[in-house]
Amino acid sequence: MPNVLIKGYKILRTVRVGQDFSLAEVEHKQSGIPDCLCGSHRLIHYDSYRRYIKHVSENGAIYHLNVKCKRYKCLDCGRVFRERLEGVRPYARHSERFKNRLVSEYARNVCNKAIVRIYRISASTVERAIHSRYEQKLKEQINYPCPEIIGIDEHTIHKGYKFATTIADLSHHRVYDVIKGKRHIDIAGALMSYKGRENVKVVCMDLSSGYRSIVRRCFPRAKIVADRFHVIRLVLYHFMEFCKSAQEEVKWKRSLTYPLRKRRERLKAQEMERLKSFFRGNPAIELAYEFKERLCGLLNKKSQTAKQCRDNIRKLRSTSKIVE
Ligand SMILES: [Zn+2]
């Protein structure tokens, strides 16, 4: 009778633990011997090993499966490989049915903590399961053609260990795609697969030159625009580097670093005083600060006409000569 409960697995022994949990020792019922990647059928049984998998049976009971799995050796190419289990991804410790259950619990507004307690799993497992399902759904939903104005930006996730690159649909203010990693080859591959990429008119991105060539190749008709945030960050970076090289104490004195970075209109009275007295001994830094303020002021201007832009540039040039 228990054979019905878990499709695709032959149950050897079950032990009931508590009300909702059962331990089961099972063997995978392989439907025919698999093929090797090289296409060969000449396989021998190499050895067996055990996998521990959490699973939900057909009638909804939770099982901790102890699965006896096989490894095969190909007689033609010598490769040793594991058998694929039905409904379980390679290396996964939870079956797809189990993950579906977690997601449906989540959809019923059961909070993560309760799911963790009921199913005896870690909070990160719950989160991973939910994320992967919703990512899948999102991918299906956004299969619309590439937007005309897009933004590209890279982020770190998992406390800075992993990278992701976000493609934003800037005309509708939503995320178009998230690409895992920041390797150029991955990003180029993903961008190349977009529908209607030749219609992209504007690509907004940071100033790193690495992506530039990829973007030119993938979006041949697009203009590349550096976004305000990244330009200002670059200006601030170089300004601070200059300050540090001109005056050693900027490196370690936070009471100077913060006000130097801040826009003038946001300075508190005491910060203003501190800067003023600092500038008295460092006139070169004061000049650079003035220039930084002008440049950032300019960069923060929105919706300018072409003529206004020309005037602004002329003004900035005339002040920058003094700095030089
Ligand atoms: Zn082979």
The stretch 193-210 carries a mean pLDDT of 81
* Cα 79 to Cα 309: distance, rounded to the nearest angstrom: 65
The stretch 58-79 carries a mean pLDDT of 87
Q: Which of 235, 174, 184 is nearest to 207 (CA)?
A: 235
304-316 per-position pLDDT tens digit: 788 888 888 887 7
* CB-CB contact of 182 with 154 (8 Å): yes
Ligand 1 centroid to residue 83 C-alpha, Å: 14
- Tell me whether residue 26 is exposed, middle or buried, using C-beta atoms within 10 angstroms of its C-beta: 0 to 12, 13 to 18, 19 or more: buried
Ligand 1 centroid to residue 32 C-alpha, Å: 16
Q: Spell out a b/e string for 215-244, using b for 16 or more CB atoms within 10 Å of the CB, else e.
A: beebbeebeeeebeeebbeeebeebbebbe
45-59 per-position pLDDT tens digit: 899 999 999 988 887
* CB-CB contact of 259 with 274 (8 Å): yes
Q: What is the chain's mean pLDDT, rounded?
A: 82
Residue 260 makes CB contacts below 8 A (sequence gap 6+) with 239, 240, 243, 250, 275, 285, 289
* Cα 109 to Cα 200: distance, rounded to the nearest angstrom: 40
148-152, 172-176, 305-309: which is most confident: 148-152
Ligand 1 centroid to residue 91 C-alpha, Å: 21
224 bridge partner residues: 203
Share of the chain above pLDDT 90, in %: 4
* Residues near ligand 1 ion, CB 5 Å cutoff: 36, 38, 40, 74, 76-77, 79
Ligand 1 centroid to residue 7 C-alpha, Å: 29
